[in-house]
Structure 1
Amino acid sequence: MPVYENKKTKQYYWKVSINGQQYKRQNKQWTRKIHAQRDLDAFIESMNRNEYVKNIKFEKMLEAYDGFALIKYKPNTRIHQRNIINKHILPFFKNMTVSNIVAADVILWQQQLIKKKMSNGSYYSNQMLEKIQTTARTVFKFAEDHDYIRKNPFKATVFVRHRTVQRKKEHTILTYPEFKKFMNVIDNQVHRVLFSILYWNGLRIGEAMALTLNDYQDGKLYIETNWDYKTHIITTTKTDESRIVDVPKECQIEIDTLISMLDSDHKNKTTPLIGIVHREPKTTLERAKKRYIDESGVRYFTFHDLRHTHVSTLIDLGWQSNAIAKRLGHSVEMVNNVYGHLFPRRIDDDMDKLNNLSSFIE
């Protein structure tokens, strides 16, 4: 028995050998055998836990990370993150003991990562490389925070990037005449409402698809939810904040026209504004958009380009970044970072007005 009594002091202690190493503990308050036994049981459980953690493989540790991610992240984020892990991270680290992974292993992984090519033969963009490495760093931070590893190996490394300058994809900014030309070929009222909402209000596509009849009241859109296309569930907005958006008259007419076409069975608060009976798959909407673009002859644009178009329109109309941020559900800092390149055009116009003051003074 590893629990013993000191005949002289009448106190108990325990002594045990684990993997050839002796451990002993005593306490003056252990006047009964059960006191020492409980402490010994806790010690052995701790040692077993430490031994398990010390020898756990990366793939097994990911099971614990999945439980953590389930609480911390939205479903779409978890799916996207797990896809990155399965494709780019797990194949390299899968059978490695987590506690033994060091910066040198990460650097070797990065060297392989930067050489990887997509199915079309091109290298991954620097933006994608950053997403992959950020995901890996997040997983190892979890490992460090939960004692699977003493130090996150990413702390001793820097992200790798392609040195060649990669041309950033330009957004298509539609003019109002282009948008009207596009709308003129659409005879599906649900689609007319969708594109009107995106153009005139700058909503994210998921926010627009989540709208119900109840979210449109008195010429305002109440933005509180987001439609997740991958999981087909309603979640909170991207920033987890709600907002109220005033709808321009031209967009109100499109929405009111759609509502007037509904029969009584579909005029309830939970009816999806875009889809009515059910929300259309994004692939269906993409095909419809392409068809309308081809028929109208306007430049190709993405759903998100309409959000950029809306911001560009607001800037041209003289809106300030704080008002734009409130309308889009962004922070002012985010507006300046993402859309700041659109402001110089407005600044040039303002300078022209300032310079023209002299003509009035004279």
Structure 2
Amino acid sequence: MSVRQEENGTWTAQVWYHDYNGERRHKTKRGFETEEEALAWHDEYAVEAEGSVSSSLAAFVETYLEDIRPRIRESTYENKVYTIKSKILPYLGHMRMDEIEPVDIVRWQNRLMKATNSRGEQYSPTYLRTVNNQLTAIFNHASRLYGLKDSPCKKTQRMGSSEASEMQFWTKEEYLKFADAISDKPFSYHAFEVLYWCGLREGEMLALTPNDLDFERSLLYVRKSYRRAHGQDIITDPKTPKSVRKVQMPTFLRDELEEYVKQLGIAPDERIFTVTKHCLYHEMKRGSQLAGVKKIRVHDLRHSHVSLLIDLGFSAVAIADRLGHESADITFRYAHLFPDKQSAMADALDEMKR
């Protein structure tokens, strides 16, 4: 019996289904006040659990998320959930998967391209491309594993752009003005010193403890990342295996941090910077205004660090090792910042030919 009444008068529904590996599983839900509610849930979940593409997009998304969750980082999963629930389901969630046409995708794109965020600004081309890619991923998943004949996204042009607008970064002079402006708050000053002079990601910096700093050898060890989610502090592994690394600190920064950590008087395994990313954004805005320098994002300090290293003559391989990137990524993303060596190469070949 798929629906039954319990001794306390409530109703329980149970669904048996096969997952995409062909294994038989079941799902039980209790506490329905009426038999009709239990049957309605049973019928809806039965379609969803089998991953049927005749279900609504909203129902299939639950299957999609359940499938991918074990394979991705929790922060990535949460970002996907937010993107899907805020940018896709309000427009397409009520429609059946196998009845969504390319024209429906185009209309969804047009509405999103006209939409604005909480600040009244239109979404950036790169963000629109990210959202578009997420919808494509859902339909590809349905085609690959659940028998959807064809993805409507294939016949549409993707909205947005994979190319970000011109990269923003500060020169050393701009950063020094900013650092002087925020020096009235020691936690802000030292946090931004780490970000600019070491090129760490925000989460990497916020996860630092005294155990991660070797002052004798001027080394900073990146071994974890911090994020705030659902009102809790969460420490995870860094973004990629390559992100686990040691960063040589300049002597002046080592001395600054050593003195600052002593003043804090914290345990070796306590976080040095007990603030959130939101606090960093606020301080970035405050310092930029006080210093009179152009507004950039906190993450752009990482770009600023790369720009500084390129100006100092370091190779893409050396920079990638410091930042926890692949050297090909550095070459591709920052190619316009590296000096053009073509003329010098041609001159050298001419000289060799003689």
**What interval of TM-score do these two structures reach, taking the shorter chain for normalisation?**
0.7 to 0.9
Could you tell me which residue of structure 2 aligns to residue 326 of structure 1?
321
Corresponding residue SS for 1:55: coil
Q: C-alpha deviations, 1:217-276, integer Å up to 9, x for none?
A: 13111112111244531122222431111111111011111122233xx2x3311122xx
Name the count of aligned residue pairs. 296
Q: Secondary structure at the match of 1:244?
A: strand
C-alpha contact 2:207 2:224 (8 A) present in aligned 1: yes
2:203 pairs with one of 178, 190, 206: 206
1:194 aligns with 2:196: no
- C-alpha deviation, 1:323, in angstroms: 0.7
5+ residue gaps, structure 2, are 1-45
CA deviation vs aligned residue, 1:176-231 (integer Å, no higher than 9, x gap): x4433433341433323211111111111111111111111131111121112445
Q: Distance in 1 between matches of 2:89 and 2:189?
A: 44
Shift of residue 81, structure 1, vs aligned partner: 1.8
Distance 1:184 1:287 in 2: 16
TM (norm. structure 1) is: 0.71
Q: Amino acid of the residue matched to residue 198 of structure 2?
A: N
Q: Deviations over 1:305-329 (max 9, x none)?
A: 2211111111111100011111111
Aligned counterparts of 2:105 and 2:204: Cα–Cα separation in 1 = 38
Residue in 1 that maps onto 2:238: 237
1:339 alignment partner in structure 2: 334
Q: CA RMSD in A?
A: 3.2
1:146 Cα deviation (Å)? 2.4
- The one-letter code of the counterpart of 1:200 is W
Which whole-Å CA distance do the structure 1 matches of 2:123 and 2:112 have between them?
9
Rounded to whole Å, the distance in 1 between the matches of 2:293 and 2:187 is 20
Q: CA deviation at 1:130?
A: 0.7
| 1:224/1:120 CA distance change after superposition, 3 Å | closer
How far off is 1:299 after superposition?
Answer: 3.9
Moved more, 243-252 or 55-64: 55-64
Q: SS at the partner of 2:334? A: helix
- Quickly say closer, same or farther: Cα 1:200–1:67, change in 2 above 3 A: same
Q: Which SS does the other structure have where 1:271 is aligned?
A: coil
Output the CA distance in 2 between the equivalents of 1:109 and 1:193.
45
- Name the TM-score, length of structure 2 as normaliser: 0.73
Contact 2:55 2:96 in 1 (8 A): yes
CA distance 1:112–1:148, shift in 2 (3 Å) = farther
Provide the rounded CA distance (Å) in 1 between the counterparts of 2:281 and 2:194.
Answer: 16
Residues 250 and 144 (structure 1), Cα distance of their counterparts in 2 relative to 1, 3 Å cut? same
Q: Would the alpha carbon gap of residues 289 and 112 (structure 1) be closer, same or farther in structure 2, given more than 3 Å must change?
A: closer
Structure 1: runs of 5+ lacking an equivalent = 1-46
1:303 match: secondary structure: coil
Aligned position for 2:149? 150
- Residue identity over aligned pairs, in percent, reads 29
Distance 1:119 1:95, change over 3 A: same
Q: Is the 8 A contact 2:190 2:257 kept in 1?
A: yes
Amino acid in the other structure paired with 2:238: T
Q: CA deviation at 1:161?
A: 4.4
Give the 5 Å matches for 1:75-114. Answer: 75-114=74-113
Contact 2:47 2:55 in 1 (8 A): no
Residue pairs, 1:267-282, within 5 angstroms? 268-274=267-273, 279-282=274-277
Tell me if the contact between 1:99 and 1:148 (Cα under 8 Å) persists in the aligned partners. no
Determine the structure 2 residue equivalent to 1:73. 72
For residues 74 and 326 of structure 2, the distance between their equivalents in structure 1, rounded to whole angstroms, comes to 23
Rg larger for? 1
Counterpart of 1:198 in 2: which secondary structure?
A: helix
Quote the residue 1:19 is aligned against.
none
Partner of 1:303: 298
Does the 8 Å contact 2:51/2:146 carry over to 1?
Answer: no
Q: Write the letter of the residue equivalent to 2:194.
A: I
Contact 1:325–1:332 under 8 Å retained in 2: yes
Q: Post-superposition shift, 1:170?
A: 4.4
Give the Å deviation of 1:118: 4.3
1:172–1:300 contact (8 Å) kept in structure 2: no
**Deviates most, 143-152 or 217-226:** 143-152
Q: How far is 1:121 from its partner?
A: 5.5
For residue 176 of structure 2, the aligned residue among 180, 196, 204 is: 180
Match of 1:261 among 260, 263, 268: 263
DSSP 3-state at the match of 1:190: helix
| Conserved? CA contact 1:226–1:237, under 8 Å | yes
Alignment deviations for residues 134-193 of structure 1 (CA, whole Å, 9 cap, x no partner):
00011112212221523333233331349xxx9925413222x44334333414333232
Change (3 A) 1:200 1:135: same
C-alpha distance in structure 1 between counterparts of 2:110 and 2:268, whole Å? 54
> Given that residues 51 and 63 in structure 2 are in contact (C-alpha distance below 8 angstroms), is that contact kept between their aligned partners in structure 1?
no
Conservation of the 8 A alpha-carbon contact between 2:125 and 2:164:
no
Deviation larger for 232-241 or 178-187: 178-187
User: Aligned ranges for residues 124-163 of structure 1 at < 5 Å?
Assistant: 124-161=123-160
SS at match of 2:220: strand
Report the AA paired with residue 183 of structure 1: A
Tell me the amino acid that sits aligned with residue 184 of structure 1: D
